[in-house]
Amino acid sequence: MFRAEVIGSMLRPSYLKEARAAFEQGRLSTPELKRVEDRAVDQVIAVQEGAGVDVVTDGEMRRYLFMGPITETVEGIESVEHGNAMPWATPEGEVDWVFGYAVTSKLRKRRSMVTEEYSYARARARLPLKVTVPSPLVLFGLWNPRYSTGAYPDAFAMFADAAAVGRSEIQELVSLGCEYIQVDAPELATLVDPRVRDWAESLGMPAERMLSEGVELINGMVEGVSGVRLGLHLCRGNNVGMWMASGGYDYIAGALFERARAFDAYFLEYDDARSGSFEPLVKVPDDKQVVLGLVSTKRPELEAPDMLRGRIDEAGSLFPRAQLGLSTQCGFASVAEGNPIDERAEELKLRLVADVAHAAWG
């Protein structure tokens, strides 16, 4: 059990963004890009270790999106002219954000992304190393009736194929000795918002089915995997400072904690009023850990340590305090562009997580 946790992505250094642009324009070779990615991984591991957290990741430096192990290494996803308009929100109000990709044919894995990530970072990290794998349901925005029905008349058939890809990635990680894997499932937490539920249902993905058949697919990805710590991360959307949903976990808690039993820890976003109360924690099984995402990656202002300690105590009145941990609410760059926060603030946020967690639990 770790107390001071990271979620996954870190801000991409400017030199990595420049190298990616050069690679896409044909001005940089694959070996040259890989050396730049290696440098970026070294840098973000050093930042995390210097901040004092208990666990590190490779920062997802080799990915464009947090769900890269599905979207960037699997056949069947293409750029399209009429992508789904997804419900998002900004501090200024609600927006419809168009994701210009869709599933257009059967999903087939071309290569493993996570084995490259883990193999390199394992040799660099001095602390326990966590690898993130996307939930199969993150593709809910890429099932588009205009393009997807030829391959998948039912979106849940697409989810099942994505779950098979995810399980194969997890099995490869285990074979390499990986001891900590986190499945990222933000789509589950977005269902707390009626606006998102209505949108998903309009595409043939009713919330009831997402929370039954869908959660069982996620659980099946890791069920039976032994010798590995398994975490499940939920947030309400994290995209250059935007979010998808507002609302407490009450709507999803029963189904989530009953069906996702193969996981050891749940990482829950709790950084602002959009997250609701801690009351749903009473439904978490007693043998699990809850990692409280109390520190925001969406804004640079540092949270007050006394406030964080008070919220830990509040959560501890509903779920055993000895089984809690602390983290940021999400990664710093779920997409390569990153959240509206700079690298200095990123480091200070991680140091805050470490300092408060170690003071709270020793």
* pLDDT value of residue 362: 87
Other CB atoms within a 10 A radius of the CB of residue 306 amount to: 9
Domain ranges for the chain, please list them.
Answer: 14-75+107-361
Per-residue pLDDT tens digits for 307-355: 999 999 999 999 999 999 999 999 999 999 999 999 999 999 999 999 9
In this prediction, residue 76 has a pLDDT band, given cuts at 50, 70 and 90, of very high
Count of CB atoms situated within 10 Å of the CB of 33:
17
pLDDT over 90 at 292, yes or no:
yes
Position 243 confidence tier, pLDDT thresholds 50, 70, 90? confident
Query: In degrees, to the nearest 5, what angle opens at C-alpha 35 toward C-alphas 32 and 20?
Result: 60
Q: Which fold has domain 14-75+107-361?
A: TIM Barrel (3.20.20)
Q: pLDDT per residue over 95-139, tens digit each?
A: 888 989 999 999 999 999 999 999 999 999 999 999 999 999 999
Cβ-based neighbour number of residue 187 at 10 Å = 27
Tell me which residue of 100, 115, 17, 129 sits closest to 69, measured CA to CA: 115
Single pTM value for the model: 0.96
